Amino acid sequence: MSVVSAEAVSGRARTLAEPPVRGAAKLGPRARLWPSLAAVYRAQLSRARVARIPLLFVATFQSVGIMVMMRGVVDTPAEARAVVAGSSVVVVAYVALNLLSQYFGQLRAGGGLDHYATLPVPPAAVVLGAAGAYASFTVPGTLVTAVLGSVLFGLPLTNLWILASVIPLAGAALSGLGAAFGLLAPRPELATLLGQLGMSAALLLGVLPADRMPGIVRLARDLLPSTYGVEAYARTFAPHPDWALVAADLGVCAIVGVVSLAVASWAYRRAAVR
C-alpha cells in the first residue's frame, strides 16, 4: 500500500511540475461548398424522387396543352417559335417558382430549417442543392415539350442542344426567386401564392408572342428573367441564328441567377437564425 501511495504522490508531483497546455483543441476543417452542395443535392434528389412521376406529368401535360391550344391562333413562324420556346421554359418555371416556393415555405413553417442550421454546410449549398434537385426533374419534361412542339409547328430540331444551357441558366434564375419567396414569406400560404403568381407570369409573358402585347406588358416581360431563356431558345429556330444575341440572353439569365441565388442564401441565413 505504501508503494502505491508513493507512486501516486510522485505522479502528482510530475503533473504539477509540467506546464499547462494552452489553447483550445483544433476543430475540423469547415465544410466546403461543392462537397456540401453534392451531399445536399443527393439527399434532396432521393427525397423528391417520390413525387417524380406526378411532377413530370403535370408540368409536361400543362405545356403540351398550351401548345395545342395555341396551334389554332398562331399565324407566323416567329409566333410559332415563341410559343414552343415559351412552353418549354414553362416546365422549368413550374418547378423553380411554384414548387420551390412551396417547399421552402413549408420547410420554414415546420421548423425544417433548424435541421439544416445544425449541419456544417454553407447556406448556399442548401439553396443550390434543393434547387438543383427539383430542377433535375424538369429535364425530361422540357425535352418532350420541345420535341413535340417542334413537330407540331414544323420547326427544326437541329439546335435542340441549346436546351443544355437554357435549362440550368433559366432554372437558376427562377429557382433563386422561388426559394426567396418561400424563405421571406411570413406564412407558407403566402409563399404558395407568390410562387403561383410567378409561374402565371412566366406562363403568360413567356408563351404569348411579344409583338401582340401592349407596351406596359412588354416592359414587365423584360423584367422577368425566364423570358431571356425563351428568347435564347426561340432565336435558334431561325435559319441563320444570331448566336451573339443568344449568348447575350443566356448571359442575362446567368447574371440574374447569381443575384437571385445570393438573395435566397441571405434569406436562408435570415430565416435560420430566427
User: Which pLDDT tens digits describe the chain residue by residue (274 residues)?
Assistant: 444 444 444 444 444 444 544 544 444 455 677 788 888 888 877 776 665 667 677 888 889 999 999 988 888 888 999 999 999 999 999 888 888 898 889 888 887 777 777 777 887 788 888 888 877 878 888 999 999 999 999 999 999 999 999 999 998 899 889 999 999 998 999 999 999 999 889 988 888 888 878 888 888 888 899 899 999 999 999 999 999 999 999 999 999 999 999 999 899 888 876 6
Residue showing cell 439569365: 253
> What's the domain count of the chain?
1
| Encoded amino acid at 67, one letter | M
Residue 196 lies in a domain: yes
Check residue 84 and give its pLDDT: 95
Check residue 50 and give its pLDDT: 64
Check residue 37 and give its pLDDT: 81
Check residue 130 and give its pLDDT: 85
> d(Cα 271, Cα 97) in Å, to the nearest integer?
19
How far is the CA of 85 from the CAs of 13, 54, 103, 113, 244, in angstroms? 82, 23, 27, 36, 18
> d(Cα 69, Cα 153) in Å, to the nearest integer?
12
Check residue 215 and give its pLDDT: 80
Residue 27 lies in a domain: no
Residue 15 lies in a domain: no
pTM, 2 dp: 0.83
Check residue 52 and give its pLDDT: 60
Check residue 30 and give its pLDDT: 56
Check residue 191 and give its pLDDT: 92
Residue 19 lies in a domain: no
Check residue 131 and give its pLDDT: 83
Residue 221 lies in a domain: yes
How many other C-beta atoms are found inside a 10 Å radius of the C-beta of residue 211? 10
- Give Cβ neighbours of residue 176 (< 8 Å, ≥ 6 apart): 127, 131, 256, 257, 259, 260, 261, 262, 263, 264
Range of the domain at 246: 32-272
> d(Cα 121, Cα 127) in Å, to the nearest integer?
11
Residue 6 lies in a domain: no
Check residue 5 and give its pLDDT: 47
